[in-house]
Amino acid sequence: MAGEVPDLEALVRTGTGKGAARQARRDGLVPGIVYGGGTDPLPINIPFNVLFKKLKDGRFLSTLYNMKVEGQDDVRVICRNVQRDVVKDLPTHVDFMRLKRTTKINLFIPVEVTGEDECPGIRKGGLLTMVRPEVELIVTAGDIPESITISVEGLDIGDTITISDVTLPSGSKPTIDRDFVIANISAPSALASASDDEEGDAEEGEATEAAAEGGEEEGGEE
């Protein structure tokens, strides 16, 4: 579940426009903006190395940060967009939104799986297929879950796990109203292809029989 909110240090970006942003990048900084929360947008710069490491660590777009900017009050923020260089795929601009602890936001939360050692379907050679490795939830900013957990214990080939099977964290709910599938235990590809071949043979046999019957009927009319 949500732990301590990590700090993210930033600098106030002096000057506006593309010139200031280009200068920031030359200085090893990534320009950004902090908006929302009923106050004016704040142009910032974040050291490239710091931002790159956090992006590499993962979950950057679903982590609540305590942004520290010199001369400003600390503020809770979440990143809403990272613009990247189309060639190098490196961050060139970031947008952050100010949040209160009670703010409700939509986030994609990773799904963790337990019980694989106690899953008959997997022991028979079945494959665990993650239909949704992440699930979009409406969560409270002050209590963002690290993940949600599904258990495949006791499941057999052909069984599925839907969102109704999951105990969601308090204050969280799915953005989708219907009971959607998160994962399933599918048959091994060899069995699945053999089954398809059998169905194909059966259909071919039925077609041959139908053609033969049709030929007999035509012969009978003569």
Nearest to 17 by CA among 93, 84, 82: 93
Instruction: Say if CB 39 and CB 98 are below 8 A apart.
Output: yes
The DSSP secondary structure of 154-187, one letter per residue, reads T--TT-EEEGGGS-PPTT-EES--S--EEEEEEP
Alpha-carbon separation of residue 65 from 1, 8, 60, 105, 169 (angstroms) = 15, 6, 9, 14, 20
Alpha-carbon separation of residue 196 from 125, 172, 190, 191, 193 (angstroms) = 18, 41, 10, 9, 5
- 14 pLDDT above the threshold of 50: yes
pLDDT band at 2 (very low <50, low <70, confident <90, very high): very low
Look at residue 17 and give its three-state secondary structure.
helix
pLDDT band at 202 (very low <50, low <70, confident <90, very high): low
Q: In what order do the strands lie in the sheet with 181-186?
A: 127-130, 181-186, 160-162
- 18 pLDDT above the threshold of 90: no
For residue range 162-198, list pLDDT tens digits in order. Answer: 999 999 988 899 999 999 999 999 998 755 555 555 5
Contacts with 31 (C-beta within 8 Å, 6 or more apart), sequence order:
13, 20, 21, 24, 25, 43, 44, 45, 92, 93, 94
For residue range 107-140, list pLDDT tens digits in order. Answer: 888 899 999 999 999 999 999 999 999 999 999 8
- 216 pLDDT above the threshold of 70: no
- Position 194 scores a pLDDT of 52
7-99 and 105-187 agree in CATH topology: no
- 84 pLDDT above the threshold of 50: yes
The count of other CB atoms within 10 Å of the CB of residue 142 is 15
Phi and psi at residue 166, to the nearest 5°: -100, 135
Instruction: Say if CB 111 and CB 130 are below 8 A apart.
Output: yes
Q: Side-chain half-sphere of 208: how many Cα atoms within 13 Å?
A: 6
Beta pairing partners, 196? none
Segment 76-97 shows an average pLDDT of: 92
Note the CATH number of domain 7-99.
2.40.240.10
CA angle 12/5/74 to nearest 5° reads 30
Gyration radius from the chain CA atoms: 27
- Position 111 scores a pLDDT of 94
- Position 221 scores a pLDDT of 45
- 76 pLDDT above the threshold of 70: yes
- Does the domain formed by 105-187 have CATH 3.40.50.720? no
Share of the chain above pLDDT 90, in %: 51
The count of other CB atoms within 10 Å of the CB of residue 132 is 16
pLDDT band at 19 (very low <50, low <70, confident <90, very high): confident
What's the pTM?
A: 0.62
Segment 92-111 shows an average pLDDT of: 89
- Position 47 scores a pLDDT of 94
- Position 17 scores a pLDDT of 77
Q: Any idea where the domains of the chain sit in the sequence?
A: 7-99, 105-187, 189-222
- Both tokens of 114, joined, read 């337990």
Output the average pLDDT for the chain: 84
